[in-house]
Amino acid sequence: MSKKTGIIILALLFCCGVAVLSRGLAVPSSSKGDEIVLYIDDIPVTVDQWRQAAGCKVNEVKLYFQNQGNINVNDPDFWENSYGGEQPFQRLHNEALTVLLNRTILLKLAQQKGLIQDIRYEAIRRKWESENNSRSAAVANKKVLYGPVQLDLDAYYRVLIGELTNKLLLLMSKDELHLTNEKLRELYEQRKTNEFDIMHMKTGQLIISKSVPDAEEKLVKVIRLGKQGDTLQEAARTIGMAKAYKLEDYDEKNMSSRDTHQASVFNQLKSLSRGQFSEQIDLGDSIMIAECLQKDEDYKSLDEVKGYLTSMYLQEQFRSYINDRIQHASAINKISEDALNRMLNGFLRE
Strands of the sheet with 36-40, listed across from one edge: 43-46, 36-40, 331-333
Residue 341 confidence class, pLDDT cut points 50, 70, 90: low
How many other CB atoms are found less than 10 A from the CB of residue 350?
8
pLDDT at 113: 95
pLDDT at 199: 85
pLDDT at 12: 28
**Answer CATH for 197-299 from 3.10.50.40, 1.10.3720.10, 3.30.365.10, 3.50.50.60:** 3.10.50.40
pLDDT at 346: 55
pTM of the complete model: 0.65
pLDDT at 10: 29
Give the N- to C-terminal CA distance of the chain in Å, as an integer: 28
In what helix (H) or strand (E) does residue 122 lie, and over which residues does it extend? helix 121-140
Instruction: Identify which of 82, 90, 66 has the alpha carbon closest to the alpha carbon of residue 4.
Output: 90
Cα torsion 225, 227, 228, 232: sign: positive
Burial 250-271 (b: 16+ CB within 10 A, else e): bebeeeeeeeeeeeebbeebee
d(CA 164, CA 171): 10
Residue 14 scores a pLDDT above 60: no
Distances (CA, A) of 196 to 43, 157, 187, 189: 45, 35, 12, 10
Residue 25 scores a pLDDT above 50: no
Region 7-19 average pLDDT:
29
pLDDT at 277: 96
Residues 241-254: pLDDT tens digits?
999 999 999 888 77
Region 69-77 average pLDDT:
88
Residue 270 scores a pLDDT above 90: no
Residues above pLDDT 90, as percent of the chain = 55
Domain boundaries, the chain: 36-172+314-345, 197-299
Region 220-246 average pLDDT:
94
DSSP 8-class letter at 252 = G
Residue 264 scores a pLDDT above 90: no
Residues 308-327: pLDDT tens digits?
999 999 999 999 999 999 88
Residue of higher predicted confidence among 15 and 348: 348
Residue by residue, DSSP assigns 138-186 as HHHTT----S-SS--HHHHHHHHHHHHHHHHHHHHTTTTS---HHHHHH
Residues above pLDDT 70, as percent of the chain = 85
